[in-house]
A and B are shown apart, each in its own frame.
Chain A
Amino acid sequence: MSESRERILNRLLDSQVTATVSPVKQLVPQDPVPSALSADECLACFCKELDALEVDYYIEDSVDDLKQRLQTFIAAKSLLAWDQKYLPYGIADCLENENCCYDDADMAIQSQAEVGVTGCDFAIAETGSIALLSAKGKPASASLLPFTHVAVLRRADLVYSLGEMFAVKQDEIKNCSHLNIITGPSKTADIEMVLTVGAHGPGKLIVIIGP
């Protein structure tokens, strides 16, 4: 194995001297300038993108309203959720009486859940994306296995661009095994370019934006 490594690297080193790569002017990657948009404008941009992606979203100005909204999606459903310490606004309370499993459950059981309930580590306004970091207690499966995914976002966690998120959260991202940036429901257009939703991941994504 290491012989292959040496041979490949040596070939690259030898070729580097004579390689006919184009002299492309070295542009320094743009520093992600925190956008000039205000928090409200950012939110409006985020919502516009969510509309285009056919993601249902709700903006709630109080924690009580938010909890009530959440109830409408989880009542009488089997759930797969993040651990309470990772869920914002104390919404773990809403899950107490429900049929809810967590990441310590068998994968077959997790896969039966109808609704996944998670928080969001970040959201990106420019593309209408939510970003979820996985760890013990906040499994990636909650935003992947159930057909419906309800994501609760803290308004303060909304940034404008992916570049900003990468800049601010680089250390956290590289110390986490999976960062998932989710933009809309799972979809495919493989068959005759006809768009179908719910290919493998959730076919329904709901974002509840809290105060």
Chain B
Amino acid sequence: MTHNHQTLSRRTTILGLTAAWALGGSSLAVAQTALPADRRFVVILLRGGMDGLAVVAPYGDPALRLLRPKLALPDPSAADGLQDLGGFFGLHPALSHLGDLYRQGDMLVAHAVASPYRSRSHFEAQDLLELGAADASIARPASGWLARTLAEISQTRAIAMGMAPSLLLLGGRNVTTHGFSPLAVPHEDFYARVSALHQHDPLTGPALTAAFRGRRSEQEASARRTEPAERDRGSFPALARLAGELLATPDGARIAALELGGWDTHASQELRLPLALRQLDAGILALKDGLKDHWQRTTILVMSEFGRTARENGTSGTDHGTAGAALLIGGAVAGGRVIGTWPGLSPEKLFEGRDLAPTTDIRSLAIAVLRTQLGLTPPATERIFPGTRNDSGLAGLFRA
């Protein structure tokens, strides 16, 4: 524990206070349920507002370099430039594995997407994204949309890894938690004695029983970690690999939800964004590796609560915006393209004069997955996403 503490302190010092969340802010939840055609579905929440304009940069839009003289990366023709996605958009160079997946047709980008509500508050926007709300001003759903999805599919058991279950699965049945403790593990006899002391406690007794069970299953699923990014067992790549393995287990999990923080790049974005991107990149690779052959039947939806301002700010960063980019990744995806309607970045085209304007509702992406991959139809999809009766989801996103 001492060693870990010093490591964390050193990182925090170099990178500033937000770094603690960039590195420590990840969790995993999985649900055991049968999906059609033995498919897998993973939702990855990027907390903090991912800058879609930097991650999938519209280098073909002449306004970009005017809005971001410092932050805009070189074109694909340059050695350290963007990875070309078809002549107009370029993928951030830090996402090298995702670039490979795109070229193999396993990744699709949706740009200028946003939720239906307009909130530039992280907390509210994340909540509403996870709860699947239509509008900020009306009563919020009491459960997460993924939990509602599980309810529509069948009786399911969800396991959350990490300390607190994310809102996505709020309201889901039987959520228990596992996690990676940085502390030295006491000997079994100590645990046995502690257990005995709690046997009559109605709250702590069952919690400890579930925790011991969770520890054992986590140990069974883990293999030796060799990737440097996964050495920190609580890190996003490590959790992502574990998710893949759990999703690959016979009669095991079929739906997973992961989260990754570190996207709120108000300052020094040229330094901070690559950190988060490398975690994401390593994580998707580890997830794919863990899934093995099941990758062919997997869909991963990567989303964030909002994008960021089109203009860079005075501290070499960007602020909370509106539309951004979302990713669909996996063997089930008909990828290799960027979908959506590009609104343009000239001043009159910006939303409220500052943000990329949204042209696609992010729920349409999710609904497309629910309908095509999970076999759900209205009214089920409308129960999951209230207010989407007329939304049939985007078509043609998946391989037959």
A binds B: no
